[in-house]
């Protein structure tokens, strides 16, 4: 940041950027609007910011004279960019390599302007700057037009959730203030942003060096009827305050003072009052707020967003760094798998199967790349499945953590819906969280029953198994719709029954009509459907029955939960068939309806399917007939169900 910048800057050669716009000089009581300025390298970002400081009166005569002297010393005309390009390397190369935060104000409100670097090698700094922005100025050089890095920056704005964008076509003086040139660039920009789902607030022509259309309309571009840059800035709406969002208090640390345990953290969203009942996630522990402590001040009755506080509770519970405190209502999502839109910054590519450390708020966890669904070409916005993400690429991936995480979707809570990735203690990427197609697992892992006492039957499972002459099993058939699960299960049931084995099929036909009749097909309902079936199947197996559970069961976590319920009686069978084959076996026309958008969240089309990683048995119905598949499964089950001597 600028404090660090100042330690490197030669104060005798250039005015201080921090001094250029000192926040203490502001008299406007409004909250500053956070604005990021992005674009291709050398498209005039720093020049524009320097000019904005001059036009808004943020420069003293002394600083202006110093800037003029620096420019003359280097044999250049007034170079406004020197206000920001405070590193010697930047002045020599004409490249901004750090993020500067500059304060100024208009008649309407104050601003914090983030001048982000445009060069591809400094993309990490651009992302750092844009992550906190409420609005953006996207710079385009009139003589060069839309460049690759401009496209990449625009995509990253969308990825980071910056929806308010004004496009500034600068250096119009270099093209003779040509209206036709401006309109051609404006059409290209508007079309590209539309593909991203972004609609620019305004596209306007300027010359930052000459001050044209910065604070006053330029006579050289009388054909432009739109706003000036300052008017465009004042047209941005501030982001809704996180104070009105549900409470999120990531636990930073726990301190012991005397006999008190103080849980410390900074409120990321919402507000907190003494007496509130807090839920800590992912542990699920609850307690009531006894006091709200602040440093070197008396206890408070309430605290609000961005306040660093310490909380004592009415009872001692074990809470550690990384937990997230919330109210009982509007708690964060609990999951160990989520989708993410990421940008990758490391020289070594990110590949499927790689394990990275992720940080979400104060939580550090290891996560494995389960899938790379799309690597985005920022030129064409085309994308497809890939095995790796290379440096400076953006992608949509699926991450699976080793434990439950408490998190929010970025679209719901930008402050808590972002994360960074690291390798060997180096930040190598970051992104935003999406749960599209995946369930909130809180309901599945929350135990609500109480005052229960387990009792053991006098007839244990070994006795039941010996009477039946075989072990009880949960044979879990998973695969896409149309893979042939039910066909294989029914044929296998018939063959095993004819051999004298106690066998029964559980599938959607006999479960969703009764036990699970109250469930739909949302991700959460799918999870609950499989949870119930898994528990029932485990009871069947305990009673000595071979259960053939035939369910799409798209989420690996749900199948793992069913495995945990049945223990060593659980056997996962992957009924494998390519999606193209499944679509040809579509007697009910479900795939066709899903492709037409008539069925939402359809597995394999608009909802994810996580294939087993290491199933006990794999039946390839794409290559085998149902009879052959059933014979293979019967042979496997007979061996698995055989009683040991």
Helix count and strand count (H, E) for the chain: 18, 30
The tokens describing 437, both together, are: 């197609």
Count the alpha carbons within 13 Å of 233 in the hemisphere toward its beta carbon: 27
> With contact defined as beta carbons under 8 Å apart, do 44 and 145 qualify?
no
Which residue is listed with tokens 């605290």? 303
Computed on alpha carbons and rounded to an integer, the radius of gyration of the chain in Å comes to 31
| Residue 89 contacts residue 311 (beta carbons within 8 Å) | no
- DSSP strands (E only) in 241-332: 249-250, 253-257, 260-266, 272-273, 277-281, 285-294, 297-300, 302-303, 308-313, 324-327
Helix 123-130 / helix 148-159 crossing angle, nearest 10 deg: 40
Catalogue the long-range contacts made by 122-126 (C-beta closer than 8 Å, 24 or more residues apart).
Answer: 122/95, 122/96, 122/97, 122/98, 123/152, 123/343, 123/345, 123/392, 124/345, 124/427, 125/97, 125/98, 125/99, 126/38, 126/99, 126/153, 126/156
Q: Which of 381, 382, 395, 397 is nearest to 196 (CA)?
A: 381
Distances (CA, A) of 290 to 46, 77, 282, 316, 416: 50, 64, 22, 11, 25
- What are the catalytic residues? 553
The dihedral over CA atoms of 378, 379, 381, 385, expressed in degrees to the nearest 10, equals -70
Beta carbons of 189 and 167 less than 8 angstroms apart = yes
Q: Token pair 């089950």 is at which residue?
A: 637
Q: 200 Cβ partners below 8 Å, 6+ apart?
A: 138, 165, 166, 167, 189, 190, 193
Residues 126/118, Cβ–Cβ less than 8 Å: yes
């Amino acid at each position: 940041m600028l404090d660090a910048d100042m330690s490197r800057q030669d104060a005798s050669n250039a005015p201080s950027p921090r001094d250029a716009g000192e926040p203490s000089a502001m008299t406007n009581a409004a909250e500053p609007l956070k604005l990021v300025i992005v674009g291709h390298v050398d498209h005039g970002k720093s020049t524009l910011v320097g000019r904005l400081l001059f036009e808004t009166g943020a420069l003293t005569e002394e600083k202006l004279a110093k800037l003029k002297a620096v420019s003359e010393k280097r044999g250049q005309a007034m170079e406004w960019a020197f206000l920001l390009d405070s590193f010697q390397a930047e002045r020599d190369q004409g490249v901004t390599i750090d993020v500067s935060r500059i304060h100024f104000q208009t008649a309407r409100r104050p601003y914090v302007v983030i001048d982000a670097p445009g060069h591809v090698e400094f993309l990490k700094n651009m992302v750092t700057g844009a992550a906190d922005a409420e609005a953006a100025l996207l710079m385009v050089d009139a003589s060069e037009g839309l460049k690759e890095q401009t496209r990449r920056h625009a995509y990253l704005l969308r990825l980071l959730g910056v929806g308010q964008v004004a496009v500034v076509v600068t250096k119009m003086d270099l093209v003779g203030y040509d209206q036709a040139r401006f309109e051609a660039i404006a059409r290209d920009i508007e079309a590209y942003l539309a593909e991203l789902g972004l609609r620019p607030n305004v596209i306007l022509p300027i010359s930052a060096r000459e001050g044209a259309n910065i604070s006053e309309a330029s006579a050289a571009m009388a054909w432009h009827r739109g706003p000036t840059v300052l008017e465009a800035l004042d047209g941005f709406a501030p982001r809704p305050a996180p104070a009105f969002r549900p409470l999120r208090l990531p636990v930073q640390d726990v301190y012991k003072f005397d006999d008190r345990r103080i849980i410390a953290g900074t409120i990321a969203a919402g507000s907190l009052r003494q007496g509130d009942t807090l839920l800590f996630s992912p542990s699920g522990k609850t307690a009531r707020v006894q006091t709200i402590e602040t440093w070197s001040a008396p206890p408070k009755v309430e605290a609000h967003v961005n306040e660093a506080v310490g909380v004592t509770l009415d009872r001692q519970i074990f809470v550690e760094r990384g937990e997230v405190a919330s109210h009982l209502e509007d708690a964060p999502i609990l999951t160990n798998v989520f989708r993410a839109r990421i940008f990758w910054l490391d020289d070594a590519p990110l590949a499927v199967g790689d394990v990275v450390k992720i940080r979400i708020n104060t939580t550090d966890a290891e996560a494995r790349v389960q899938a790379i669904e799309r690597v985005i070409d920022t030129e064409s916005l085309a994308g497809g499945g890939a095995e790796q993400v290379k440096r400076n690429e953006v992608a949509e991936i699926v991450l699976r953590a080793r434990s439950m995480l408490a998190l929010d979707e970025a679209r719901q809570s930008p402050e808590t819906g972002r994360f960074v990735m690291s390798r060997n203690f180096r930040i190598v990427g970051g992104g935003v969280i999406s749960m599209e197609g995946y369930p909130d697992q809180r309901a599945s892992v929350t135990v609500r029953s109480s005052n229960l006492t387990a009792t053991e039957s006098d007839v244990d499972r070994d006795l039941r198994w010996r009477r039946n002459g075989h072990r009880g099993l949960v044979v879990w058939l998973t695969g896409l719709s149309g893979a042939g699960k039910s066909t294989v299960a029914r044929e296998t049931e018939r063959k095993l029954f004819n051999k004298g084995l106690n066998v029964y099929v559980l599938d959607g036909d006999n479960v969703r009509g009764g036990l699970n009749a109250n469930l739909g097909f949302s991700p959460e309902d799918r999870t609950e459907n499989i949870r119930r079936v898994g528990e029932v199947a485990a009871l069947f197996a305990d009673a000595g029955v071979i259960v053939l559970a035939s369910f799409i069961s798209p989420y690996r976590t749900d199948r793992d939960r069913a495995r945990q319920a049945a223990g060593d009686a659980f056997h996962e069978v992957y009924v494998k068939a390519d999606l193209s084959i499944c679509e040809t076996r579509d007697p009910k026309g479900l795939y066709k309806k899903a492709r037409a958008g008539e069925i939402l969240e359809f597995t394999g089309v608009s909802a994810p399917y996580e294939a087993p990683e290491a199933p006990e048995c794999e039946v390839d119905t794409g290559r085998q007939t149902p009879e052959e598949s059933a014979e293979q499964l019967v042979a496997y089950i007979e061996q698995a169900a055989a009683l040991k001597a």
